[in-house]
Amino acid sequence: MITIIKNGYVYSPKFLGKKDILIASSNIEGVYDSLDIPKELGEIKVIDAKGNIVTPGFIDSHVHLIGGGGEGGFSTRTPEIQLSHIISSGITTVVGCLGTDGICRSMEALLAKAKGLEEEGITTYIYTGSYSIPVNNITGCSKSDIMLIDKVIGVGEIALSDHRSSQPSYEDFVKICAEGRVGGLLANKAGVIHVHIGSGKKGIDYLFKVIKDTEIPASQIIPTHMGRSEDLFNQGIQYMKKGGVIDLTTSSDPDFLEEGEIKASSGLKRILDSGLDIERVHFSSDGQGSLPRFNEKREYVGLGIGSVHSLYREFKDCVVKEKIKIEDALKAVTSNVADYLMLNNKGHIEKEKDADIVILNKENLEILHVICKGKHLVEDGKVLKKGTFEG
């Protein structure tokens, strides 16, 4: 199947200008100034972008695919995610993980869910592990999971500075970092350690100690939830200066932020203004994780569910509210994530990359079209493909 996207203003995420994109099967064949369509080529699908914005598909590197939560008892376990929630948010690639519950949620179930979503049309990867050390795994250790299971690209989400963590010693944490590092090298994968950082006073002290006392590079360990507080955000700035990458979580209540919490879009603006390398910043949603809800008095009123749609919302807020250039805002949800996680066919609109593409309304940035591996899954804002058991 050949598809041509015509008359779009293309961001790769670098702005390329008005271009036509030729898609052959699941890959981008090329990006051209203009394409004529010869009749002898047979059936060709043409999508007229109508002067709207064309971007790479979004990558969400932290999603609880089989649900999360449970900290308030069994009735607070959140449900599995559905395909339509992902693609309607412009997301074409996800990385799944386990969280607090590594008992009733298993790595085998996470892997099966990832495979199911891939069959339904998107691209999926997973981390091996959960909050706890020793690490949940499938093959016997995290290193062999990374080496032997195609979908496993790293370890996570290991919890630090949190009352829900397993309170690992520094030595325990270093060993896990080393397993991820070596497993990644042997499998030609990123082998990153994706680390949940709670509100504890130590913050990312372990991470600073690892990069000071060992040969493991800072880029191997990616802390998430780094907008949780002003102190933690400032630690993240220092970590970036030492070569590290930080992840800002987009699932929060933008109307009632927790005390000191920094929205992802605001955090990116501050990092830009400070002159730091924004290629060291990722956004992720924490989708399907449990999310505390507060009223206008900041009183706790119950639990909600983290939404993958927040990834798109914070990208949009970067551009509309924070006045960040589209190409800079896009990096946090496309190329930065792809490059550091070694998702080599993702995150860029280039020849031979996967045809994961989003078309946004040039006036309001609303999602018009989503293409996953060459297949048109959202058209004119309407979801064309739903999960197997979605109504």
Task: For residue 371, give the CATH number of its domain.
Answer: 2.30.40.10
pLDDT digits (tens, 9 = 90+) for 157-205: 999 999 999 999 999 999 999 999 999 999 999 999 999 999 999 999 9
Q: How far is it, in rounded angstroms, from Cα 198 to Cα 196?
A: 6
Per the annotation, does 71 bind a ligand?
yes
* Higher per-residue pLDDT: 177 or 44: 177
- Work out the number of other CB atoms within 10 angstroms of the CB of residue 85: 18
Please tell me whether residues 173 and 274 are part of one structural domain.
yes
Indicate whether 298 pLDDT > 70.
Answer: no
* Higher per-residue pLDDT: 252 or 331: 331
Q: How far is it, in rounded angstroms, from Cα 313 to Cα 329?
A: 11
What tokens does 64 get? Answer: 């609880």
Please tell me whether residues 224 and 130 are part of one structural domain.
yes
Whether 286 sits among the annotated catalytic residues: the reply is yes
Q: pLDDT band at 302, cuts 50/70/90? A: confident
Q: How far is it, in rounded angstroms, from Cα 14 to Cα 381?
A: 24
Please tell me whether residues 306 and 377 are part of one structural domain.
no
Q: How far is it, in rounded angstroms, from Cα 173 to Cα 134?
A: 9
Task: Name residues whose C-beta falls within 8 Å of residue 384's C-beta, 6 or more positions apart in sequence.
Answer: 376, 377, 378
Please tell me whether residues 198 and 253 are part of one structural domain.
yes
Number of separate domains in the chain: 2
Q: How far is it, in rounded angstroms, from Cα 171 to Cα 260?
A: 31
pLDDT for the residue numbered 309? 98
Please tell me whether residues 192 and 174 are part of one structural domain.
yes
What backbone torsions phi and psi does residue 126 show, to the nearest 5 degrees? Answer: -140, 160
In a domain, 105, yes or no: yes
- Average of pLDDT values for 376-383? 98
**Which of 36-40, 159-163, 355-359 comes out lowest in average pLDDT?**
36-40
Q: How far is it, in rounded angstroms, from Cα 135 to Cα 152?
A: 14
Per the annotation, does 62 bind a ligand?
yes
Please tell me whether residues 61 and 152 are part of one structural domain.
yes
pLDDT for the residue numbered 256? 57
Per the annotation, does 64 bind a ligand?
yes
pTM: 0.96
pLDDT digits (tens, 9 = 90+) for 225-236: 999 999 999 999
Per the annotation, does 286 bind a ligand?
yes
Please tell me whether residues 70 and 151 are part of one structural domain.
yes
Per the annotation, does 69 bind a ligand?
yes
Taking the mean position of all CA atoms in its chain, how far away is CA 328?
A: 16
In a domain, 34, yes or no: yes
What tokens does 75 get? Answer: 């009735």
Please tell me whether residues 61 and 72 are part of one structural domain.
yes
Indicate whether 255 pLDDT > 70.
Answer: no
Match 């914070």 to its residue by tokens: 314
Indicate whether 334 pLDDT > 70.
Answer: yes
- Average of pLDDT values for 340-348? 98
Per the annotation, does 196 bind a ligand?
yes
What backbone torsions phi and psi does residue 312 show, to the nearest 5 degrees? Answer: -65, -40
What tokens does 9 get? Answer: 């203003």
Per the annotation, does 183 bind a ligand?
no
Find, among 278, 288, 337, 338, the residue nearest to 309 by Cα.
288
> In which domain, by residue range, is 284 found?
57-340
pLDDT digits (tens, 9 = 90+) for 50-90: 999 999 999 999 999 999 988 888 999 999 999 999 999 99
Q: Which of 145, 286, 354, 356 is catalytic?
A: 286
Assign 270 to helix, strand or coil.
helix
Please tell me whether residues 130 and 211 are part of one structural domain.
yes
In a domain, 31, yes or no: yes
Indicate whether 104 pLDDT > 80.
Answer: yes
In a domain, 388, yes or no: no
In a domain, 389, yes or no: no
Per the annotation, does 290 bind a ligand?
yes
Mean pLDDT score of the chain: 95
- Work out the number of other CB atoms within 10 angstroms of the CB of residue 315: 28
Specify the CATH number for the domain of residue 179. Answer: 3.20.20.140
Per the annotation, does 293 bind a ligand?
no
Please tell me whether residues 218 and 322 are part of one structural domain.
yes
- Average of pLDDT values for 319-336? 98
Please tell me whether residues 121 and 42 are part of one structural domain.
no
In a domain, 203, yes or no: yes
In a domain, 321, yes or no: yes
Please tell me whether residues 230 and 152 are part of one structural domain.
yes
